[in-house]
Amino acid sequence: MRLLVNSGAETDDGCLHEAARHLRPNAVKVLLAAGHDPNFPSPIEDHGGRGALGELLLRTRATEMNQQQVQETVMALINGGADATIKESGKSLIYLAIDNEDPIPMVKAFIRAYLWKNNGIDQDYNLITIGNYRYSPTTYVEKNQRPRPPPDQEGLLRVLGQRGGRHVYYAITGLQPVDARGMPEDVQRQYESQKLAEQREREEEAGHQQRLRHARELEAQSQQIDQQRHNLRMAQDSERARNQRSETTKSARLGMDLENEAALKRRAVVEYDRNAELTHRHNLANQETVALENRNRLQIDHVKRLARTEQNSLEAKSKVESRMLKAQDSYQERQYNRTLNAARAITEAAHTAGTSPNHLRGFIEAGEQL
């Protein structure tokens, strides 16, 4: 490096920015001694027009392990002439550390290296204006003005609060937000005037609203009274109509009761006549039933007698025929026996007389015919 300087090497070419971003404190010191300006806005597109300290705070990846290197490099740049109060793109350097991809270790290292002196984090140069509002580092984080949300917003606020307690947030012109704070005296006076005006406006509005409510209450009371009167008239009219309907209903009910009583009497007479007719018919039916039962019983008795007579006749006839058959059988048996005895007698006589039995067969046949 010294050889490059002695040979007339060009300065402010971005080398200091690269050495700072890669945490090379010795190289930073050599380049500064060679004439490199630590506040030079590098034209290299990757450096975004920032000085070497701004490049380090925004783009270096700080960790708990390289805190010492970060602080040494920061102090090398500041001791070499880097302006810690400079603004990069409208932001003081603390905001570049806050905008770092991992802001907590970088903010912590920057505070320890420089901003802890004289409460530097709370100095006016560390206020930032965005649009119509002014912020301190703490409110910048609270109001989410970083290009992207921090990984740990609460942790970042704790680190900022360890070395500074100033909270600034107010509108530069016009009405102040309700949570405005840390305003300068002139803005504070305007804010107080604004609050007084708003208070008067609120009081006037409250008085106006109270008068409106009172007027509405009076109107509501008047309407309620009118409504009660109307309801009373409606109730009276309804009561009269109800009474008239009641009288009419009573008269109609009385007429209906009389008509119903007469109808009941007529139905009772008709029912009595019908029951008498049914009783008469029932008696006649009973008499006819008794007569029919008597006729049926007589007819059944007659049939039974005829059947018994016929049965007796059949039985007598059967007995007669049986006796005749028995007599005929007895006669034939006797006749057979006489013939058989005669044949035996003839046979015996033939044997005794020496005559042939065939000679006597005619006599036997003649005896059978007899």
Tell me: pLDDT of 343 over 70: yes
**3-class DSSP state for residue 336?**
helix
Closest to 32 measured CA to CA, from 48, 16, 9: 16
CB-based contacts of 219, cutoff 8 Å, min separation 6: none
Closest to 186 measured CA to CA, from 203, 199, 173: 173
For residues 268-299, one letter each, b for 16 or more C-beta atoms within 10 angstroms of the residue's C-beta and e for the rest, the string is: eeeeeeeeeeeeeeeeeeeeeeeeeeeeeeee
Q: CA 133 to CA 180: how far, in whole Å?
A: 10
Query: What's the rounded mean pLDDT across residues 100-110?
Result: 95
Residue recorded with tokens 């190289």? 27
Q: Residue 306 — pLDDT band, cuts 50, 70, 90? A: confident
Query: What's the rounded mean pLDDT across residues 167-185?
Result: 92
Tell me: pLDDT of 212 over 70: yes
Strands 128-130 and 91-92: unpaired
Closest to 110 measured CA to CA, from 98, 118, 101, 122: 98
- Range with the largest mean pLDDT of 6-10, 162-166, 173-177, 250-254: 173-177
What pLDDT, on the 0 to 100 scale, is given for residue 69?
96
Q: CA 247 to CA 235: how far, in whole Å?
A: 18
What pLDDT, on the 0 to 100 scale, is given for residue 5?
45
Q: CA 93 to CA 73: how far, in whole Å?
A: 15
Tell me: pLDDT of 321 over 90: no
In this structure, what is the dihedral angle of CA atoms 216, 221, 223, 229, given to the nearest 10 degrees? 180
What pLDDT, on the 0 to 100 scale, is given for residue 102?
94
Structure-model confidence comparison of residues 288 and 8, the more confident one: 288
Structure-model confidence comparison of residues 236 and 130, the more confident one: 130
Check: CB of residue 64 under 8 Å from CB of residue 49.
no
The model's pTM is 0.54
Tell me: pLDDT of 146 over 50: yes
**H-helix or E-strand containing 94?**
helix 93-98
Query: What's the rounded mean pLDDT across residues 201-214?
Result: 87
Count of CB atoms situated within 10 Å of the CB of 63: 13
Query: What's the rounded mean pLDDT across residues 317-326?
Result: 83
- When the pLDDT of each residue in the chain is averaged and rounded to a whole number, the result is 85
What pLDDT, on the 0 to 100 scale, is given for residue 7?
43
What pLDDT, on the 0 to 100 scale, is given for residue 361?
56
What pLDDT, on the 0 to 100 scale, is given for residue 194?
79
Phi-psi region of 23 (alpha: psi -120 to 50; beta: other; left: phi over 0): left
